[in-house]
Structure 1
Amino acid sequence: MAGGSIPHFQNDAGHAAITIGVKEFKCVGANAPFDHPHVFLDMGSDSEKVCPYCSTLFRYDHTLMAAETVPAGAIYTERAA
């Protein structure tokens, strides 16, 4: 995803799996103060990746847009301080 921003995903609801429309992304865990280090993950040629911090399973679906998730609401947006 050179030249673009890397989507960040969070899992406040504690879902076992989240389907996303990108293969390169960052997982932040839950929203602060319950987040973990914002770790970059790359699925490569695979279609699934487990976050090593929170164990969320991310699944790739090419039909989703970069900011879409299933279930909905797992895209992370930084809040102004």
Structure 2
Amino acid sequence: MADKIVPHFHNDPGVAAISIGAKRFMCIGATPPFDHPHVFLDMGDDTEIVCPYCSTLYRHDPVLHGFEASPPECALRETKAA
């Protein structure tokens, strides 16, 4: 089932645009507890999309894998409980 998880991205660094490897993903705005409602975005045939909550511009980069972003810190990394 891990291959069905939707990648999540955020804009903690406050950059104007984030390149990502996914065309379907969730924008969370910033890392919790400063996140906005997690919104599902789908670029479809386009190569860019703007989040309606935080106005972050996301650009698809086919060189990146689905869970990767540039800058890399904009990809949400799950932390495992100890």
Normalised by the length of structure 1, the TM-score is 0.89
2:67 corresponds to which residue? 67
Q: Which amino acid aligns with 1:11?
A: N
Within 5 Å, which residues of 2 pair with 1:37-76? 37-76=37-76
Distance apart, 1:77 and its partner CA = 2.9
Higher strand share: 1
Alpha-carbon distance between aligned partners in 1 of 2:16 and 2:27, rounded to the nearest angstrom: 14
1:17 corresponds to which residue? 17
Percent identity of the aligned residues? 58
RMSD of equivalent CA atoms: 1.3
Runs of 4+ in 1 over 6 A off after TM superposition: none
Normalised by the length of structure 2, the TM-score is 0.88
SS of residue paired to 2:39: strand
2:5 corresponds to which residue? 5
Gaps of 5+ in 1: none
Alpha-carbon distance between aligned partners in 2 of 1:76 and 1:62, rounded to the nearest angstrom: 19
Alpha-carbon distance between aligned partners in 1 of 2:44 and 2:63, rounded to the nearest angstrom: 17
1:34 corresponds to which residue? 34
Distance apart, 1:24 and its partner CA = 0.1
Gaps of 5+ in 2: none
